């Protein structure tokens, strides 16, 4: 079979193709992180960027950061690979700076370490501890055994997520609705819905000024039929309110897809603006809402900044051209719990395409992502409402060995004991007489960890009597 070779026939240069994208990095405060891209092509050149800004002198396939500071938390890195035939941009990799826990209790000088919970157990340390509990030393451990241990760790964490509801696996998600749709797909990793509420907002609209001088009033129309696209990159859309007011939510409905670098700023006087939301080379999709609550804003003092706001704006950078359908701020959220119905009740509804304000839902648990079947279907105004989902989700995946696994400190010993038992069962090099001991120890450690997995808040029961549909 003949395989075509992509060449620039004028210059006989193979265009660049990225075969391995840069990976996320997690490093301790004060250490350096390294990002690497692998590409094929002829006479390749490289240029790295951080947060949309060119890094001077970073012209090789890898880039090592300077010693990290707290301000580097969440920095976004990507690389542009190029030659005479064109260029290609890598995906974005995130730098996580592992910060020490702030000391809260003054120690006795010369007696204690003076630190609390600064010891970090990443994937590598967890696996190494499990091997030692199997009486396997470093010289006996092969690459295949390490690979097996990572797989077993992933499987156990998945099992742990599904066994009950770990407290750290409960989160809140804001889900948009679109007119005429009676289905809302839950985010990846959702196991179950603990509560679903529909939220109405009081939108605070005002006078819109576009930095390119165009008429952008449509972005505050509370309809999705119009849009405004600026004529130049790195522009600003500013909304000035009739009077200062408190804000709690922001919404952005892009009219064009792409990777945007931007900030959302607020001002008490219409002159001095402070950013509360930032996005760096963030993927946005035309017609898909981005919503932010006050508890998700970037600034730790955002709660104060959102008091008595006279103006708010979105500011593009990094070559981003703003193309916006709606850009809104709101307050006075009113949330009402939606009723959970079963499959039979949902199928019995006479008109599932009837539009209105959704009041009930059936949770259709699919293979990967559960689907909320809402009724009535979303009407025109429901596009400006939100579904507030409290969900039980999976524990985050086990990735690279330096990555910190997503479990609290109180669970570490149980995780290592259960991993040691799983490794012992599948590893011939482990003494068979040790297997039953490790399995028993793992079960005891897990039971002890579950016994502490409570926040001691009051409980109440909501009857949900059903047959096969539940």
CATH architecture of 17-98: Sandwich (2.60)
Rounded mean pLDDT of the chain?
Answer: 88
What confidence score (pLDDT) does residue 12 get?
Answer: 62
pLDDT for residue 347 is more than 80: yes
Q: Quick one: pLDDT at residue 131?
A: 92
Q: What is the CATH number of domain 202-335?
A: 2.60.120.260
The arithmetic mean of pLDDT across residues 204-233, rounded, is 95
Q: How far apart are the first and last CA of the chain?
A: 55
Q: Is residue 416 within a helix (H) or strand (E), and if so which, with residue range?
A: helix 412-426
Provide the residue ranges of all domains of the chain, joining segments of one domain with +: 17-98, 123-165+396-451, 172-197+337-393, 202-335
Residue 69 has what pLDDT?
A: 86
pLDDT computed for residue 117 by the predictor: 72
Q: Is residue 361 a contact partner of residue 201, using CB atoms and an 8 Å limit?
A: no
pLDDT of 416 > 50? The answer is yes
pLDDT at 469: 47
CA angle 286, 233, 301 (to 5 degrees): 80
Whole-number percent of the chain with pLDDT over 90: 64
DSSP secondary structure string, 38-90? EEESSS-EEEEEETTEE-TT--SSEEEPPSP-GGGTT-EEEEEEEETTEEEEP
Query: Percent of the chain having pLDDT more than 70?
Result: 90
Looking at residues 9-38, what average pLDDT do you find? Answer: 82
244 strand-pairing partners: none
Work out the number of other CB atoms within 10 angstroms of the CB of residue 399.
15
pLDDT at residue 106, rounded to an integer: 58
Q: Is the pLDDT of residue 15 over 80?
A: yes
Give the confidence band of 414 by pLDDT, cuts at 50, 70, 90: very high
Q: In this predicted structure, what is the pLDDT of residue 7?
A: 43
Note the pLDDT of residue 299: 47
In tens, the pLDDT along 269-319 reads 999 999 988 899 999 999 999 999 877 664 445 557 888 999 999 999 999
Cα→Cα distances 383→176, 253, 329, 376, Å: 7, 10, 14, 13
For 249-282, the pLDDT digits (tens) are: 999 999 999 999 999 999 999 999 999 888 999 9
Q: What is the mean pLDDT of residues 236-259?
A: 95
Cβ atoms 128, 407 nearer than 8 A: no
Whether the per-residue pLDDT at 101 is higher than 60: the answer is no
- Going along 365-457, which residue ranges are E strands? 371-375, 377-378, 386-393
Mean pLDDT of 319-340: 96
Is-contact 48 58, C-beta < 8 A? Answer: yes
Q: Please, what sign has the CA dihedral across residues 161, 162, 166, 170?
A: positive
Is residue 463 scored above 70 in pLDDT? no
pLDDT tens track for 46-72: 999 999 999 999 999 999 999 988 888
pLDDT at 2 > cutoff 50: no
The 10s digit of each residue's pLDDT in 109-161 is 666 666 667 677 788 899 999 999 999 888 888 889 999 999 999 999 999 98
Looking at residue 215, its pLDDT comes to 96
């Amino acid at each position: 079979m003949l395989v075509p070779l992509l060449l620039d026939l004028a210059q006989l240069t193979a265009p660049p193709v990225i075969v391995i994208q840069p990976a996320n990095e997690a490093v301790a405060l004060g250490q350096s992180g390294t990002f690497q891209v692998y590409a094929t092509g002829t006479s390749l050149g490289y240029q790295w960027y951080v947060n949309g800004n060119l890094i001077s002198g970073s012209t090789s396939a890898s880039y090592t950061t300077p010693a990290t500071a707290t301000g580097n938390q969440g920095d976004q890195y990507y690389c542009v690979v190029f030659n005479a035939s064109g260029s290609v941009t890598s995906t974005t990799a995130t730098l996580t700076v592992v910060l020490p826990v702030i000391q809260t209790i003054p120690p006795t000088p010369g007696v204690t370490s003076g630190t609390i919970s600064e010891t970090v157990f990443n994937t590598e340390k967890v696996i190494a501890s499990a091997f030692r509990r199997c009486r396997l030393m470093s010289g006996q451990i092969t690459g295949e055994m390490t690979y097996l241990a990572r797989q077993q760790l992933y499987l156990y964490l998945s099992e742990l997520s599904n066994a009950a509801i770990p407290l750290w696996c409960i989160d809140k998600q804001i889900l948009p609705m679109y007119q005429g749709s009676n289905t809302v797909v839950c985010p990846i990793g959702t196991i179950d819905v603990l509560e679903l509420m529909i939220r109405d907002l009081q939108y605070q609209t005002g006078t819109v000024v576009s930095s390119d001088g165009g008429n952008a009033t449509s972005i505050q129309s509370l309809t999705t039929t119009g849009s405004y696209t600026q004529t130049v990159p790195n522009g600003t859309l500013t909304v000035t309110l009739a009077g200062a007011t408190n804000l709690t939510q922001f919404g952005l409905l892009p009219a064009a897809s792409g990777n945007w670098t931007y900030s959302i700023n607020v001002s008490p006087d219409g002159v001095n603006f402070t950013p509360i939301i930032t996005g760096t080379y963030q993927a946005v999709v035309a017609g898909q809402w981005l919503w932010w609550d006050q508890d998700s804003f970037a600034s730790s003092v955002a709660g104060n900044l959102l008091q008595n706001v006279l103006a708010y704006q979105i500011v593009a950078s990094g070559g981003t051209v703003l193309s916006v359908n709606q850009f809104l701020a709101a307050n006075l959220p009113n949330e009402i719990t939606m009723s959970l119905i079963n499959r039979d009740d949902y199928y019995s509804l006479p008109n599932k395409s009837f539009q209105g304000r959704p009041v009930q839902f059936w949770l259709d648990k699919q293979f990967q992502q559960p689907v909320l079947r809402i009724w009535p279907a979303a009407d025109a105004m429901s596009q400006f409402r939100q579904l507030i989902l409290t969900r039980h989700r999976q524990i985050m995946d086990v990735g690279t060995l330096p990555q910190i696994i997503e479990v609290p400190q109180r669970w570490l010993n149980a995780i290592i004991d259960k991993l040691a038992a799983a490794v012992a069962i599948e590893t011939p090099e482990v003494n068979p007489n040790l297997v039953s001991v490790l399995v028993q120890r793992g079960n005891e450690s897990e039971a002890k960890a579950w016994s502490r997995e409570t926040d001691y808040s009051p409980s109440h029961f909501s009857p949900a009597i059903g047959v096969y549909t539940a």
